[in-house]
A and B are shown apart, each in its own frame.
Chain A
Amino acid sequence: MWKSGLKNYALQSLRLALTKALMEPEEKNFVDQLRAKLEVEWTAIREARRRAEQAREKVSKSLTEMNFVSGTLVWLYSVL
């Protein structure tokens, strides 16, 4: 029993380490340059991006209000 628990733990740790290792640092300079271009020249694109960011924040806030945490069902326990 403990062996299978240990194996699962080791697998999870390995998976987490692999996921982290695969994440390259963001191409911040490129994105910043691109955003600057998009936001200065193309106003409808700029406005759509602004609205999308606002809407995602609203979705995020709604989930937080539900006490919904990604990966768990915390909100259910608070309701029950």
Chain B
Amino acid sequence: MVVFGSLARDEFTDESDLDWTLLVDGQADSDHLHTAQAIRKKLTLAGFKEPGRTGVFGNTTFSHGLIHLIGGEDDTNRNTTQRILLLLESRGINSGEADAYARVLTGVLNRYLEEEANLVQAQAKLYKVPRFLLNDIVRFWRTMAVDFASKQRAREGEDWGLKVSKLAMSRKLIFASGLLVCFGCSLDTELSKELAKAEKPLVPLLGYLRSLVRFTPLELVARASLSHGNASTGRKIFDSYDQFLAMIADSEKRDHLKNVRPEESRTDSLFLEAREISRNFQSGLEELFFDNADLYKLTRKYGVF
């Protein structure tokens, strides 16, 4: 069983949903449905809130789609979401390194790397940024932002204030951490040393990516802030994220935010406070990605075109 969302990101509050899936990496079995149903019932009895109504979580997922259907018509929104979130915000529960969760993570990363014509730069023995993986992470973030508007329209603005704040904070954090995972392949000096000793470049790179995706998005941003940022950048990012988590953990404030409508976005004092927090967060991320020479070079090269 794999959990996602705030539970996997280490950002859980009393109000959080429990996003989970029964990940199957093997032969299909009609009993998988009964297993998923039993898990759902047990978790509800244990007091956990059911996943949202998008249908992305709370059921069974097969590894085949996650590994093989990257791009193309069969790569549905659900499949892309599960795949990227498996990489950037997931945790296996009661699972070891030989179980489905670890195997599928390795399989998905391997699939992204297989699509690269060359893993190493032509002029120097340095890894390139894995562009196929990067493009999928960028696509996921942009799709999520577009779908936000679509869902809001379909649901007549339900929970608008809370959802827009989450988009600007926790969802953006996932994207930033994904960029850092990709950029790390080219920047990490320890990885470069491994490459110099390696017979085949794939093995250390796969191992590196596997080790990075074990961190939460916040840990990945903290790691980059320590390596590429400065004290002020780190403080700006983490102070604002701490304020955001404090706000959504407060049930009164959370309920208030849920009820803020788009037309109240310039007058509601709590929403204005949330917006200021997200602006500081954005400013911290901009400093991290644009003020450090190494990250700036990669952001400029890969972040736009």
Q: Is the CB of B31 within 8 A of A48?
A: no
CA distance A44 to B6 in the complex (A): 13
Name A42's contact: one of B6, B12, B219, B242 (CB within 8 Å): B242
CA distance A24 to B203 in the complex (A): 11
Q: Is the interface of B mostly helix, strand, loop or mixed?
A: helix
Contacts of A19 in B (CB 8 A): 97-98, 102-103, 106
Contact with B along A44-80 (1 / 0, CB 8 A): 1101110111011011101111101111010110000
Contacts of B94 in A (CB 8 A): 60, 63-64, 68-70
B116 within 8 A of A: no
Q: Is the CB of A70 within 8 A of B102?
A: no
Q: How large is the interface on A (under 10, 10 to 19, 20 to 34, 35 or more residues)?
A: 35 or more
Contacts of B1 in A (CB 8 A): 59, 63, 68, 70
CA distance A44 to B239 in the complex (A): 10
Q: Is the CB of B211 within 8 A of A52?
A: no
Q: Is the CB of A34 within 8 A of B207?
A: no
Given known A23-B97, A52-B12, A63-B1, contact A44–B42 (CB-CB < 8 A): no
Report which B residues bind A (CB closer than 8 A). 1, 3, 6-14, 16, 18, 20, 29, 31, 34-35, 38-39, 42-43, 46, 48, 91-103, 106, 203, 206-208, 210-211, 214-215, 218-219, 222-223, 226, 238-239, 241-246, 249
